Amino acid sequence: MRYITIFLTICTYLSLTSCGSWFDTHPYDINIHGETDINTHNIAAIEKENANKETFRVAFISDTHLWHSDTRDEVANINNQPNIDFVIHLGDLTDTGTTKEFEWSRDILQQLNCPYVALIGNHDFLGTGDQTYNVMYGQMNFSFIAGRVKFICLNTNATEYDYLAAIPNFDFLEEEMNKNSELFDRTVLIMHAPPYSDQFNNNVCKAFRRYLDFLPGLMCCVYGHCHNHEINEFYNDGLLFYGIDNAEHRNYRIFTFTPNGYEEELVNY
């Protein structure tokens, strides 16, 4: 009897460690199979390939949640577009933040022919989702430079922290104003939840706008979360906020950055 118990315990342990994908520990177990630290790898690739480009094209997608079929079509459509240099996903990679959902959306996005980075959306915080994002993608606030344009990706999901954390992080914004200032002249600010939305810390909406004045050559802001493709001027001062639609509505935006500015088009698929 005792030997049977010991034997079976060992068997269970072995089966558990050797073929982990057969045995599900828990939806929120953060037992990630496959690639991790994606933003770090892809930022290195983006910065290398676009360092000397004057004109480059970026596809912005967002809120793919569990609309996998639509996201696959979106990826295929981007792959058929000429000269897309990289893709930015604006958050809500998952619907309930489970480890498997993160793997599912990652496996679809990895079908892209160009490198991509992803921001964290409010749904990606559910359960252990925020920790999974940290392992799979990296820091929640990050930036990179392509063709002398700095892309600042900012975590604005303040509600997820009950407004107790520094969200949006003004210190990070301040650092980014000056960091590597010799390598960029213009800035694009990217976030999941826009000012005045249910996730933003709306007490600091106007203070936030004041900080943006110090970002060198700020061209525009891009956001997701709202599941629509509106172009807003939240502060009525000429600064444009481009909304990126969710995957279910089957449209996304392509920005072409040129030395003189940018062109933007809405792509339906």
Q: Does 1 bind another protein (CB under 8 A)?
A: yes
Q: Does 31 bind another protein (CB under 8 A)?
A: yes
Tell me the pairing of strands 231-232 and 241-243: antiparallel
Task: Tell the smallest beta-carbon distance from residue 155 to another protein (Å).
Answer: 16
In angstroms, what is the minimal distance from the CB of 167 to another protein?
12
Radius of gyration of the chain from Cα atoms? 20
Task: Give the binding range for another protein (CB under 8 A) out of 1-9, 41-49, 111-119, 146-154.
Answer: 1-9
Q: Which stretch binds another protein (CB under 8 A): 74-82, 127-135, 206-214, 223-231?
A: 127-135
**Judged by CB, which is closer to another protein: 21, or 236?**
21
Amino acid at 103: E
DSSP string covering 249-263:
GTEEEEEEEETTEEE
Tell me the number of residues near another protein by CB under 8 A. Answer: 47
The structure tokens 């030395």 sit at 259
**Count of alpha carbons within 13 angstroms of residue 90, beta-carbon side:** 31
What is the 3-class SS of 191-202, one letter each residue? ECCCCCCCCCCH
**Residue from 22, 82, 182, 236 binding another protein (CB under 8 A):** 22
Query: How far is the C-alpha of 210 from the C-alpha of 215, rounded, in Å?
Result: 10
**Near another protein by CB under 8 A: residue from 35, 174, 198, 230:** 198
Residue whose entry in the numeric block shows the structure tokens 């959902």: 101
Task: Give the residue, chosen from 72, 209, 227, 249, that forms a contact with another protein under the rule CB under 8 A.
Answer: 72
Minimum gap (Å) between residue 131 Cβ and another protein: 5
**Alpha-carbon distance values, 261 to 56, 69, 106, 193, 257 (Å):** 11, 34, 31, 25, 6
Q: Which is nearer to another protein, 85 or 103 (CB)?
A: 103
Question: Interface with another protein includes 13 (CB under 8 A)?
Answer: yes
One-letter amino acid identity for 152? Answer: I
Question: Of these, 10, 44, 69, 76, which contacts another protein (CB under 8 A)?
Answer: 69
* Nearer of residues 99 and 141 to another protein, judged by Cβ: 99
E-strand ranges in 142-216 read: 142-146, 149-154, 186-191
Q: What are the distances in angstroms from CA 207 to CA 155, 193, 212?
A: 16, 16, 9
Among 163, 203, 206, 240, binds another protein (CB under 8 A): 163
Residue of 74, 101, 124, 176 interacting with another protein (CB under 8 A)? 101
CB 223 within 8 A of CB 240: no
By CB under 8 A, what part of segment 208-237 binds another protein? none
Q: Which residues bind another protein (CB under 8 A)?
A: 1-2, 4-5, 8-9, 11-13, 15-16, 22-32, 36, 65-69, 72, 95-98, 100-101, 104, 126-128, 130-132, 135, 159, 162-163, 198
